[in-house]
Amino acid sequence: MKEDVGGMIRTDIPKERLEPRADGTLCLNGKSWLPCYGDLRSMIMHESHESKYSIHPGSEKMYQDMKKLYWCPNMKANIATYVSKCLRSTKVKAEQKKTVRNETTKKIILIKQRIQAAQDRQKSYVDRKRKPMEFKVKDRVMLKVSPWKAVVRFIKRGKLNSRYIRPFKVLPGLGMLPTAMPLEGVHIDDTLQFVEELVEIMEH
């Protein structure tokens, strides 16, 4: 009676060659024998295929690894069938993830476009309805100004620098436009000279 390679795929191996172990399992030439009944074969193939130490091995690589430890009839064919199912499943999952990712990206782009369109409509409406502010003489207004020191030192105005200051009385201004602050005059003496008064020391 001829034997197959290593006695790995024969189905008519005499039972007397199976040797019992202390834990109750049977072994063949030092390899654990996997019975046909139960899910033990599927569980071992799953653990071997999904192991974090393997990088998605093919059926041949998986067979070479498992035959060192286990034996069962038609093991190579069973492994090839199992791996092919896993590859198809992995491909389907990858395609599903790609489809979901593409749909999510399209939805995000659509939401951004709708938000931008809504903002444009609001701006257009406000621009049509907004009227320029007009002041009349003797009105009182609040002025929004920036600290002079911040403008001089940093050459620009920050968002938090501006502040509103006391209400000013609108006075007749230059030309046709009223002004919200009284214009300070220049005091000149009889000799046509004027003296500058220091208001604040900006830098030492």
What residue ranges do the domains of the chain occupy? 5-88, 140-165
Angle among Cα 49, 54, 59 to the nearest 5 degrees reads 45
pLDDT tens digits for 83-135?
777 766 666 667 777 777 888 888 888 898 889 888 888 888 777 777 776 76
Tokens 């257009």 belong to residue: 124
Note the CATH architecture for domain 5-88. Answer: Orthogonal Bundle (1.10)
**Residue 71: in which H helix or E strand, if any?**
strand 70-71
* φ/ψ bin of 155: left (φ > 0), alpha (ψ from -120 to 50), beta (otherwise): left
**Alpha carbons 5 and 64: distance in angstroms, whole number:** 13
Please give the pLDDT value at position 52: 46
pLDDT at 82: 73
∠ CA 70-74-75, nearest 5°, is: 35
Contact 79, 104 (CB under 8 A): no
* Residue 80 pLDDT grade (very low, low, confident, very high; cuts 50, 70, 90): confident
pLDDT at 102: 81
Mean pLDDT over residues 151-174, rounded? 53
The model's confidence at residue 6, banded by pLDDT at 50, 70 and 90, is: very low
pLDDT bucket at 53, cuts 50 / 70 / 90: very low
* pLDDT, mean of residues 41-66: 58
What residues contact 194, with CB distance under 8 A and at least 6 apart? 186, 187, 188
